[in-house]
Amino acid sequence: MTSVTINTDKKSLREFGLVFAAGLVLFFGLLLPWIWDKPWPVWPWLGAAGFAGAGLLLPQLLKPVYIVWMKLGLLLGWINTRIILGVVFFLLFAPFALIFRLFGRDPMQRKLDASTVTYRQESTHLPRERMERPF
């Protein structure tokens, strides 16, 4: 992984505190109890009050939590990128490559021909009228 600097100025810490507080309330205080038909817990509201209060009054208190949270996010982003790109490659590009190889299609025209002097292809010039109304 590459080294990324984590911005820990007051504005970033304040935003983190408020967004984290809203996330706690929305996810653990409202959404999950509603989905599972459980009583509304008190702890998300208390945690949200703590994060929002610290974010508004003393944002520097949130710096250690913010750094750990950002490093966790960077790690998960690094892992997810590899998983998603691997899935896209093996489910999309690899089957197309196998099908092209089975049918002998070479869209990039990469086959070598010893009798050819050059592989350069002349560009085709389109008439000027075509650019008047391209669509």
Average confidence (pLDDT) per 10 residues, the chain, 135 residues: 80 96 96 92 96 96 95 95 96 93 88 86 84 79
Who contacts 41 (Cβ-Cβ below 8 Å, separation ≥6)? 28, 29, 33
How does pLDDT run across 73-86, given as a tens digit for each residue?
999 999 999 999 99
pTM of the model: 0.66
